[in-house]
Amino acid sequence: MRSMANGTVWFVGAGPGDPDLVTVKGRDLIARAGAILFAGSLVNEAATRWAPPGCLIADSKDMTLEQMSAWLIANAARCDTVVRLQTGDPALYGALIELVQPLDAAGVPVAVVPGVSSAMASAAAAVESFTLPEVTQTTIFTRVEGRTPMPDGEDLAALAAHRTTLCIFLSITLLHKVESGLRAAGWAEDAPMLVVHKASWPGEERIVRGTLATIKQQCRDAGIVSQAMVIASPTLGARQWPELARSKLYDPNFTHRFRKATT
């Protein structure tokens, strides 16, 4: 049955934690929302601070998917703008499509506003780059198998064999599997590793640098057991390298449509 709703449900990426990293468009939607459903287990409640007086704000951390869908549909029937605040970017490791399907079935319009991923926030916190000329030009977003199985061909060892940057989500409690996958792909024991806990969260962010051989114990010693990004990359630590391959875009010997080579 189609709903008589005339409101739109906006899936807004709340970013990695710092409410100031919500996009301007996301902030403006929050500021005019009649109802906001935020993922309280992961989204900083401060991201709702722009909500107008009278806005209904609910935390979904103890809701089932069906309860969340029903809440969004019910509020779209009474509000022009309903916001679902999701951690990071809605397209990454969220239940976006699972929530959109019931809204489609009910005739509720939906739209998505992208957000800053914790992967990007982690690189920013540590002042690292995922890509470097002649080192790697590829970044893989993945996770290791836990209660959610990995599709065929996507186990960490297979992905790590490419020797590119790996941003490993939802896996801080499974560092033994991360280590196993990297070792199976031939990564060295001294390969650099980075773990960022609560990237960008004011007063809560922690950065742990180590190696394949040490990172699990370092995280255990630090008590990091949740909300952490694990990064393995041949680019880690490049800030301290004595030499870097130059980007062609800014090389004076390279001609492009905005500048001719000077030598």
- CATH of residue 76's domain is 3.40.1010.10
Provide the residue range defining the domain that includes 196.
Answer: 118-240
**256 band by pLDDT with thresholds 50, 70 and 90:** low
| Statement: residue 1 has pLDDT above 50 | no
Are residue 96 and residue 148 in the same domain, yes or no? Answer: no
Do 106 and 122 fall within a single domain?
no
Give the mean model confidence (pLDDT) for residues 205-220: 98
Mean pLDDT, range 219-226, rounded to an integer: 96
122 and 213: one domain? yes
Q: What is the pLDDT of residue 2?
A: 45
Q: 133 CB contacts (<8 Å, ≥6 apart)?
A: 244, 245, 246, 247, 248
Q: Is the pLDDT of residue 96 over 60?
A: yes
Q: Judge whether 95 lies within some domain.
A: yes
Domain boundary among 54, 82, 113: 113
Q: Are the C-beta atoms of residues 168 and 180 closer than 8 Å to each other?
A: no
Q: Is residue 42 part of a domain?
A: yes
Whole-structure pTM value: 0.90
Confidence (pLDDT) at 177: 97
Count of domains forming the chain: 2
Q: What percent of the chain has pLDDT over 70?
A: 92
Cα separation, 216 vs 178, whole angstroms: 9
Is residue 250 one of the residues assigned to a domain?
no
Q: What is the pLDDT of residues 32-67, one digit of tens each?
A: 999 999 988 778 788 899 999 999 999 999 999 999
Domain contains 259: no
Task: Identify whether the C-beta of residue 31 lies closer than 8 Å to the C-beta of residue 51.
Answer: yes
Please provide the average confidence, as pLDDT, over all residues in the chain.
93
Looking at per-residue confidence, does 255 or 244 come out higher? 244
* Closest residue by Cα to residue 193 from 139, 134, 235: 235
Kindly report the CATH number assigned to the domain that includes residue 156: 3.30.950.10
Mean per-residue pLDDT for 97-121? 97
Whether 124 and 226 map to the same domain: the answer is yes
The whole-number pLDDT of residue 259 equals 60
Contact 9, 108 (CB under 8 A): yes
In this predicted structure, what is the pLDDT of residue 121?
98
Average pLDDT over residues 103-124: 97
Q: Are residues 99 and 52 in the same domain?
A: yes
The mean pLDDT of 135-154, rounded to a whole number, is 93
